[in-house]
Structure 1
């Protein structure tokens, strides 16, 4: 995949997750999500953390280690939940812009862990933002249209990275899926998510 395509897909995946958070009513912030013990509020906090660390990884700036455990992260702390979507939207543009520069995709970069090839990290970010958009949407009853190319890229990334991420405890056990299932369903299954998850069942 050409870096230019990855730049576009990262911006697209960030837009997708921010739009899902915008569409999530605050009165549903205590809903369960496909992310095991996380509520929608926890998920929104995690997405905020990811946006800040994505910006820092792209510019090779050291992130505050406290971001990994802060709840809420400093971006959201002290602000009413009704403002969180707007605050995320404000963090989205710098996160995407940091990866517009070709240098962001060169060498190694890290996201709170050991450095890895920047191209691999960029692919993981695309996949994670796409999946978290789905998490947010299904937890709050929203429709979600993931472009086919973005779904395929997400599936390709997890096909490559899921075993390693699962070994680090970052993903659950794969959920069996038919080989001809949609690419997004197969990607979700690789992360340990049931593509037919609903809040009602939890």
Structure 2
């Protein structure tokens, strides 16, 4: 059965991250981000890679492994940086559409790593797009708001998946948080981010 809530949330998380990229001025592409050593430019490139791979895995086309290390990815290569947000927006609709079909959520799928239940991978995609939207807004001083439902899904996903993802080197160490901290803060902490991160401190 098609998980209607997950389909809607994946589309919503993709819209959220694309809007965050749209709101990031190109003159801030050298800014640091909460993502370790990445600049905003690196983060935009990573989001582009994720959109392309999300589309491919949704229709069960083997993703191009070179996308994992390409910087910039072919979608952005050779194009002026002021066009990058527009190019990401063009990649967003095919990515969301691929996961609007029941087959995308059935069986197993992999995004450059070991295959896993497609429903679990879909949850990870929702969490990652949501958290990268926060990364982008935090790095560029935007007043971004993460919907409560996406924050809840990200927290539930990382509560379940973070140890395995951390073991694969996909997440940093958990940042301690109080049990009664806001759910978004706890999701960020599980993903290895400090919810109080600010560019000025870096």
Is the pair's TM-score, using the shorter chain for normalization, greater than 0.5?
yes
In 2, the alpha carbon distance for the partners of 1:123 and 1:44 equals 21
In 1, the alpha carbon distance for the partners of 2:158 and 2:144 equals 20
Corresponding position of 1:157? 157
Q: For structure 2, which runs of at least 5 residues remain unmatched after alignment?
A: none
Secondary structure in structure 2 of the residue aligned to 1:79: coil
Per-residue CA deviations over 1:50-103 (Å, capped at 9, x if unaligned) read 000000010000111110000000000000000000000000000000000011
Alignment of 1:110-125 (within 5 A): 110-125=110-125
How far off its partner does 1:182 sit? 0.9
Corresponding position of 2:62? 62
User: Which runs of 4 or more aligned residues in structure 1 lie more than 2 Å from their structure 2 counterparts after TM superposition?
Assistant: none
Corresponding position of 1:175? 175
2:132 aligned with 1:128, yes or no?
no
Corresponding position of 2:13? 13
Per-residue CA deviations over 1:98-118 (Å, capped at 9, x if unaligned) read 000011100011111111100
Q: For structure 1, which runs of at least 5 residues remain unmatched after alignment?
A: none
Count of residues in Structure 1 that have an aligned counterpart in Structure 2: 201
2:185 aligned with 1:190, yes or no?
no
In 2, the alpha carbon distance for the partners of 1:121 and 1:15 equals 18
Per-residue CA deviations over 1:151-182 (Å, capped at 9, x if unaligned) read 10000000000011111111111101111111
In 2, the alpha carbon distance for the partners of 1:63 and 1:4 equals 25
Q: Give the TM-score, by structure 2 length.
A: 0.98
In 1, the alpha carbon distance for the partners of 2:43 and 2:150 equals 21
In 2, the alpha carbon distance for the partners of 1:194 and 1:63 equals 31
- Over aligned residues, Cα RMSD in angstroms? 0.7
In 1, the alpha carbon distance for the partners of 2:71 and 2:186 equals 31
Alignment of 1:9-158 (within 5 A): 9-158=9-158
Q: Give the TM-score, by structure 1 length.
A: 0.98
How far off its partner does 1:47 sit? 0.2
How far off its partner does 1:145 sit? 1.1
